[in-house]
Amino acid sequence: MGVLASCSNDDATTPSLPGGEETRTVKTSITRYEGFGQALENDINITDMQACIFEGGKMTQIYTDLTPSKSSFDIRIEKHAGTLYVLANTQEQINLEELKSQNITEEEWLKKCMTMKDNAPVQFYSGSLSLNDMSNSQTVLPVNLKRGFARFDLNLRTAGVASVNSITLKNAAQSGFLFPATPELSSKEVQIKDMTVSFDSPLTTDTPAVLYAYEQPQGSLEISVDVTIDGKPQTLTKVLGCDLKRNTIYTITVRKDVIDVTVEVSFDEWEEGEDTELVPQARLSVQ
């Protein structure tokens, strides 16, 4: 059973539901990763959820302190109109009550970003659903949430003994849009900075989730790996020749004298039993 959330709403001229304000259950699921790998426990750690509805470009309803039960929660709406936006793990940076009081427009909303926390991207999720033309009899509102970040896994493919001491993503974006950006928005300049992850104990085996990053378009992104192979320290680098996409797993493969960065499209569920469309695997090598 979902938990009824607190909400705030404005009057509108769109016809209301026959019974007036009614409860609707929002059923959330997290879209599988695009990339070869499995979801990890900390990939799906939901600490908070909130939602809002925009109608005619104006924020008309907000739902805060949502407590999902079995991946769903209840909201009260007067009509099936506008767009429902759902956020997870954003409460520390996105204050819906404040934004509503500022009369934020939908155009401004879609430009909102998450910034870094403790020198790392926030592992947040977002999704939306158009309520327009939805049947009044539909009481379950399905919303697919996507991770707002990319993940890097490490593979070691050396004949000798290799240990990775640190990994650096050079010129990494220091913020990421709440929702997938349009080409115009994605080309907007954002603050960039080198982001380094150092390991207390050098990594000597294949390791998932060694680094997280916000999405950003192709540019000056570069991966640098400090590795010791057969007792010889060296730094291997690789320019990323493609966009860095949210909800995608990239694999850093360390070989004897070079590294490869690849993304393999597969799928990874948040919760078993969800209906998910399957898409054939594909592989993209970043030269």
pLDDT in tens, 169-187: 999 999 999 999 877 777 6
Q: What SS3 class is residue 6? A: strand
Position 29: which residue type?
S
The CATH architecture that domain 6-147 belongs to is: Sandwich (2.60)
Q: How is residue 101 written in tokens?
A: 């009081």
Is residue 71 within 8 A of residue 27, CB to CB? The reply is yes
Domain 150-286 has CATH 3.10.150: no
Parts of the chain belonging to CATH 2.60.40.2580: 6-147
C-alpha to C-alpha distance for 234 and 227, rounded to whole angstroms: 6
Residue with the two structure tokens 């590795």: 227
* DSSP structure string for 143-180: EEEEESSEEEEEEE--SS-EEEEEEEEEEEESEEESSP
C-alpha to C-alpha distance for 70 and 27, rounded to whole angstroms: 9
Phi, psi of 42 (to 5 degrees): -75, -10
Q: How is residue 138 written in tokens?
A: 């539909």
C-alpha to C-alpha distance for 237 and 173, rounded to whole angstroms: 18
Pairing of strands 6-9, 58-66: antiparallel
Q: What SS3 class is residue 247? A: coil
The answer for residues whose C-beta is within 8 angstroms of residue 182's C-beta and 6 or more apart is none
pLDDT of residue 167: 96
pLDDT of residue 15: 54
What is the full per-residue pLDDT of the chain (287 aa) written as tens digits?
A: 333 343 444 444 455 655 557 889 999 888 877 655 566 766 678 889 999 999 999 999 999 989 876 678 899 998 899 999 999 999 999 999 999 999 999 999 999 999 999 999 999 999 999 999 788 889 999 999 999 999 999 999 988 899 999 999 999 999 999 999 877 777 677 899 999 999 999 999 999 999 999 999 888 899 999 999 999 999 999 988 888 999 989 989 998 877 776 654 333 332 332 322 212 222 222 22
* DSSP structure string for 25-62: EEEEEEPPPBSSS---GGGG----EEEEEEETTEEEEE
Residue with the two structure tokens 């401004």: 108
Closest by CA position to 222, among listed 187, 181, 267, 252: 252
Residue with the two structure tokens 């909201």: 75
Q: What is the pTM of this model?
A: 0.82
Q: Which H or E run contains 186?
A: helix 183-186
pLDDT of residue 276: 25
Q: How is residue 279 written in tokens?
A: 């898409």
b/e burial code for range 165-177 (CB count within 10 A of at least 16 → b): ebbbbbebbbbbb
